[in-house]
Structure 1
Amino acid sequence: MMKIKIVLIISLLICFFSIQAYGATEEPVNADKLIDDLKSTYGIKVIIQDKDDNINYNDCLIVLDKGLSRFPDGLIKEITDYYAKKEISTNIIVNKTEKISDLFSEYVMSDSSANIYINTLLYRNSCVASEEGFIYETGHFIRDYIFEIYGYDKLKSEFEKLNSGYNYGTWAEGYENIFLNKHAAASFKEEVANLIWYTEIHPDKLRNISDGNFTIIHKKIEILSNAAEQSFSSVTKETNLWNEALPQKPDEWARETIEKMETASLIPEEYEGIYRAYITKKDFYNLTFSIIEKKIGKESFSNTFGIVEKEEYTSLDPLKGEAYVNIDVYDSDEDNYITRLEIAKFFGYVSNKLNKDISDYKIVEFDDISSVSESEKLFIYYVSSNGLLNGNGTSFKPFKNCTYQESYLMLMRLYNFL
Structure 2
Amino acid sequence: MSTKGILMRKLLNARRMVAGILVIIISLAIPLNLQTTYASTAKKSIELEKSIEKQFGISITLSNKLSKDEDEAYESLLLLRDALYMMPNKLVNSLVKHFKSKGKSTTVALSISSAQSYGTAAGVYSYDSNTINLYIPEYASLWGSGTEPETILHEFGHMVQYALQDIYGTKKLKSEFTKLNKKIAYGGKWKEEYELVFTREYASTDFGEDFAETFMASILSRIPNDKNAPLLKKSEYIKKMIETQLKVKVANDAWRIYSQTPSKKYKEKLVSNIFLGPNFQDEGIYQYKITRAEFYKLLREVYMDIQLKDVKWEKYLDSKRSAQYSFNKFFSTYETNMLGKIKRKDVALILKKLMDCIYRPDRAHCTAF
Above 0.5 in TM-score?
yes
TM-superposed CA distance for 1:34, in Å, is 2.3
Does structure 1 retain, via aligned residues, the 8 Å contact 2:110–2:135? Answer: yes
The amino acid that maps onto 1:176 is: E
Alignment of 1:17-96 (within 5 A): 27-28=40-41, 30-51=44-65, 54-56=68-70, 57-96=73-112
Q: Which residue of 2 aligns with 1:343?
A: 344
TM-score normalised over the length of structure 1: 0.55
Q: Which residue of 2 aligns with 1:410?
A: none
Instruction: Say if 1:48 and 1:160 are closer, same or farther in 2 by CA, change over 3 A.
Output: closer
Match of 2:194 among 172, 175, 187: 175
Alignment of 1:16-415 (within 5 A): 27-28=40-41, 30-51=44-65, 54-56=68-70, 57-101=73-117, 104-110=122-128, 113-122=129-138, 129-131=146-148, 132-173=150-191, 174-201=193-220, 203=221, 205-208=222-225, 214-236=228-250, 239-240=251-252, 242-247=254-259, 258-262=263-267, 264-266=268-270, 269-270=279-280, 273=283, 278-281=289-292, 309=307, 336-339=339-342, 342-347=343-348
Instruction: Say if 1:172 and 1:335 are closer, same or farther in 2 by CA, change over 3 A.
Output: farther
Does structure 2 retain, via aligned residues, the 8 Å contact 1:207–1:244? Answer: no
Structure 1: runs of 5+ lacking an equivalent: 1-8, 14-24, 251-256, 289-304, 313-324, 355-418
Aligned length in residues: 283
Structure 2: runs of 5+ lacking an equivalent: 1-21, 27-37, 272-277, 311-319, 356-369
3-state secondary structure, aligned to 2:130: strand
Structure that is richer in helix per residue: 2
Larger radius of gyration: 1
Task: State the Cα deviation string for residues 97-118 of structure 1 (Å, max 9, x = none).
Answer: 23444562211111xx211112
Instruction: Say if 1:310 and 1:72 are closer, same or farther in 2 by CA, change over 3 A.
Output: farther
Does structure 1 retain, via aligned residues, the 8 Å contact 2:154–2:212? Answer: yes
TM-score normalised over the length of structure 2: 0.61
Q: Percent of counterpart pairs with the same letter?
A: 21
Does structure 1 retain, via aligned residues, the 8 Å contact 2:157–2:212? Answer: yes
TM-superposed CA distance for 1:192, in Å, is 0.7
Task: State the Cα deviation string for residues 77-115 of structure 1 (Å, max 9, x = none).
Answer: 1111221232112222233223444562211111xx211
Structure that is richer in strand per residue: 1
Structure number with the bigger relative contact order (C-alpha 8 A, sep ≥ 6) is 2
3-state secondary structure, aligned to 1:46: strand
TM-superposed CA distance for 1:172, in Å, is 4.2
TM-superposed CA distance for 1:269, in Å, is 3.2
Does structure 2 retain, via aligned residues, the 8 Å contact 1:11–1:308? Answer: no
